Amino acid sequence: MFTIKSKWLFLGFLYPLAALELSTNYSTLGHEVQGEASYYADKFHGRPTASGEPFNMYAMTAAHRELKFGSLVEVTNLKNNKTIVVRINDRGPHKPTRLIDLSGGAAKIIDLVKDGVGQVKVRVLRVGDTGQELAPDKKKIEPVRKTEPKKVEPAPEPKTSPSPENKPIPLPVKKSSETRVYDIHGSLQKPKGMGIQVASYGDLNNAVRAGQKLLDAGVDKVFVQVTSEPNKPKIFRIMASEGERSYVNTYLASVKEAGFAGCFIKAHYVE
């Protein structure tokens, strides 16, 4: 028989775990907490989340018990240090020992699908839809150590015969413009095949916001083409997806529904 005394004994075992969870300050930017992560996917695809929006297993979203809807968090798989930024739009996990439930798409990026459950670090980047945002962590760069330059003897001038064939070698001409391609977290990329040109921006922050909007809409990949020209401001072009035209075309409707009606398919930039 489950008496009142046994009930309080049972709750006494759960109290330390509950107190730990409730004591976490998820309203502080940059706050970090470690715990267990799992994921949910096709079984719930299309069903309404706790925030009211339909669950998209391919979008970069997650469920959390306390964080406000619209919050952004950086989730790092402690097994391989792979990181993803997700938006909170659902409540969970239902198991009290777990910290966060990722969408299937987010879990795949940090290689959590195979294990199903793993230890992660969660860092708060934004609280709510309109809060102040922190940038994701960048890779640490080792400081350059200063060394004394070695003394180099000047090389002797080459002996040449006064022949008309000894013409001066022309110097390479510098490019008037330069283009690099990145993902929305700043990692250099080399996409292949076709893609969907979504929009162009003069401000990087606006381009990143558009890219995150596409990921939330279920687009598989988003790239930022950065073009630099002398004495001109940089141009940030958003490209979605990559691969054969038939494959890329499957994401065209999702891009238009996300608010980019003027998008079109074209080949990715090749250096």
pLDDT at 157: 63
pLDDT at 174: 53
pLDDT at 85: 92
pLDDT at 23: 42
| pLDDT of 20 above 80 | no
Mean pLDDT of 234-252: 93
For the chain, the average pLDDT equals 81
Domains of the chain with CATH codes: 29-126 (2.40.40.10), 178-267 (3.30.70.1070)
Of 2 and 148, the structure prediction assigns the larger pLDDT to 148
Mean pLDDT of 232-257: 92
Q: Which residues are 48's β-sheet partners?
A: 54
Q: Give the H or E element holding residue 10.
A: helix 4-22
What φ, ψ does residue 267 adopt, rounded to 5°?
Answer: -75, 145
pLDDT at 145: 43
pLDDT band at 74 (very low <50, low <70, confident <90, very high): very high
Mean pLDDT of 88-106: 94
pLDDT band at 27 (very low <50, low <70, confident <90, very high): confident
Pull the structure tokens for residue 157. Answer: 């001038």
Q: What is the rounded CA–CA span in Å between residue 268 and residue 115?
A: 34
What φ, ψ does residue 234 adopt, rounded to 5°?
Answer: -70, 150
pLDDT at 166: 52
Of 137 and 67, the structure prediction assigns the larger pLDDT to 67
Could you report the per-residue pLDDT of 107-156, keeping only the tens digit for each? Answer: 999 999 999 999 999 999 999 888 788 877 654 323 334 445 555 566 66
Of 51 and 161, the structure prediction assigns the larger pLDDT to 51
Could you report the per-residue pLDDT of 175-215, keeping only the tens digit for each? Answer: 577 889 998 878 889 999 999 999 999 998 898 899 999 99
CA distances from 97 to 107, 117, 144 (A): 18, 11, 44
Could you report the per-residue pLDDT of 207-237, keeping only the tens digit for each? Answer: 889 999 999 989 989 999 998 888 889 999 9
Beta strands, E only, 156-258: 178-183, 194-201, 222-228, 235-243
Instruction: Give the up-direction half-sphere exposure of residue 1: CA atoms within 13 A in the CB hemisphere.
Output: 3
Residue 119 · residue 74 · CB < 8 Å: no
Buried b (16+ CB within 10 A) or exposed e, 164-198: eeeeeeeeeeeeeeeeebbbbbeeeeebeebbbbb
**Least confident among 20-24, 116-120, 256-260:** 20-24
What φ, ψ does residue 5 adopt, rounded to 5°?
Answer: -65, -45
Beta 98-103 vs 32-40: how paired, if at all? parallel
3-state secondary structure of 20: helix
Q: What is the rounded CA–CA span in Å between residue 144 and residue 20?
A: 42
DSSP string, 232-246: S--EEEEEEEEE-HH
pLDDT band at 49 (very low <50, low <70, confident <90, very high): very high
